Chain A
Amino acid sequence: MYSKIISLRFPKDIADQPVVVNLVKKFDLTFNILKAVIYPRKEGFLVMELTGERKDFQRGIRYLKSLGIKVESVAQDIKRDEERCFHCGACTAVCITGALYIKRPEMEVVFNSDKCSACELCVAVCPAQAMSVKFNKALI
């Protein structure tokens, strides 16, 4: 399962079409609307969490874009569960920003969230499932 929070900007000519419903019907995705500003015949703005198989998710996004909707991913926070992280170091293989790095000689794995680009690569790679995506509510 894949899940991401995205924002949609609708051009005014399609703001009253059942676009979101089509994501469910055509692409087998589920959604959770977090914020919506939609007025008939005006430009609309929607923030939602979209969930489904990764392939369906990508097809869904292509569909939205094909309608002229501007799709952007909403900034999310990557968090580390300090209890679960056992400082193996596996995540440092994929973290190219250096947000996750090994402090030597202690061999402690440090997470510096200021450097994190929220690429999410570590989330799937961490064997302990210590890294997760947390949606930052302050951003909407």
Chain B
Amino acid sequence: MPGKKAHKTIQEINRKIKEGKVVVVTADEMTEIVKRKGPERAAREVDVVTTGTFSPMCSSGAFINFGHAKPAIKAAKVWLNEVPAYAGLGAVDIYIGATEPREDDPLNRVHPGQFPYGGGHVIEDLVAGKRVELRATAYGTDCYPNKGIKKKVKLEELPYAMLLNPRNAYQNYNCAINLSQNIIYTYMGVLKPQGGNVNYATSGQLSPLLNDPYYLTIGMGTRIFLGGGKGHVIGPGTQHNPHAPRGKNGVPIQPAGTLMVMGDLKAMNPRWLAGVSMLGYGCSLAVGIGIPIPVLNPDIARFTGVSDEEIFTQIIDYGSDYPKGQARPLGKVSYAELKSGSIRFNGQDIPSVPLSSYVRALEIANILKEWIQSGEFLLSEAVEPLPGPKPK
């Protein structure tokens, strides 16, 4: 379309992808491009920006149908490698949640507990092609008389396995500090007493929702990189809070939007779906997500050009405030400062520790870039936007 402003449609971008003419850059690269050329020119020159994140994401799990047994069973309780799965569904349908520990796990009885194996590890083992022991018990019915089965299952032999994560890709997250007198073990990692360290958990300028703060392109139906395969955003995640306070650039300064995502487990790869054990807290799953953002206009170029210097988060005390349910911001810090390895807080330099892998996030953004450049990944139009405020 001629005119001063660069405006494109997703269809036009997809045509360019098919013709091999698309220009794709990572969110890291886009930051530099927008800095150098401004959003107008960047929007004309760049078609797609790829983002990435790789981090433990607790609200994750998989729906599995394990096939009918002979004689038939309506499973009431199911365990995968002794990790309980939710079986209150159809006869042989289950949901295995990432944070479910093994039934015999000593948990935090000897504090801090190690949580060596849980639902996240089951998912990783399945994706790695390992055999997993499935045990089911039932009360027996006329149509499903079987009262118990035990078998080894492999992902490729399962009739259906779908990763469906109710809350992933948090748009910003707290920076955690511990102002108490004792070391604490949290989902934000180990926090030493008296503000000995601060931990943070997003990939900053590479993070998907920090590059699309008003959800202008990411919505229900957006095709994404998920766990090494392709998946979709299927809606806002649990705790999606688009009305969290935002900075002048529109980027939230507190945990805000979240995504519910889904993808075929059989197409995934254990490099991008890894079981994790958080000392003293529990088990979880590290999930790799990459989201392409079509640069439809200069506004989107400006948003994707955001840099770590312009993304802020709040410092929250996990030693006393947070566990009491009274989290209150103690200060503001930029991702540029967090990434430098130390932050200034109350007149002191405190080491800052990431929990989210920047190296892997960048790798995801680059893989997605290659997929789009090679034509094997087309962008999809959101069928429904995520709930959110209008951009200012």
Interface positions of A (Cβ within 8 A of B): 53-55, 84, 86-90, 92-94, 102, 104-109, 124-125, 127-129
Contacts and interface: CB of A to CB of B under 8 A. Distances in A.
A51 to B, nearest CB: 14
A102 B341 contact: yes
Contacts of B355: 88-90, 127
B286 A93 contact: no
B189 A90 contact: yes
Contacts of A92: 351, 353
B360 A86 contact: yes
Nearest to B204: A107
Given A92-B353, A93-B351, A93-B353, A106 B276 contact: no
A102 B274 CA distance: 21
Nearest to B192: A93
Interface stretch (B29-37, B71-79, B110-118): B110-118
Contacts of A124: 112, 114, 279
21 contacts: A53-B110, A86-B274, A86-B360, A87-B357, A88-B357, A89-B355, A90-B189, A93-B189, A93-B190, A93-B192, A94-B190, A102-B341, A104-B340, A105-B339, A107-B354, A124-B112, A127-B56, A127-B277, A127-B284, A128-B276, A129-B277
Contacts of B277: 127, 129
A84 B339 CA distance: 23
Interface in B39-95: 54-56
Interface residues of B, number: 32
B23 to A, nearest CB: 24
A86 B286 contact: yes
A86 B359 CA distance: 8
A55 B284 CA distance: 27
Interface in B92-147: 110, 112, 114, 116
Contact of B190 (A53, A55, A86, A125): A125
B197 A127 contact: no
A59 to B, nearest CB: 14
A100 to B, nearest CB: 11
Contacts of A108: 359
Given A53-B110, A107-B339, 10 more contacts: A87-B358, A90-B190, A93-B192, A93-B197, A104-B341, A105-B339, A107-B358, A127-B279, A127-B355, A129-B116
B199 interface: yes
Contacts of B356: 88
Contacts of A93: 189-192, 197, 199, 351, 353
B288 to A, nearest CB: 9
Nearest to A124: B279
Contact of A87 (B112, B116, B192, B360): B360
Nearest to A103: B359
Contacts of A107: 339, 354, 357-359
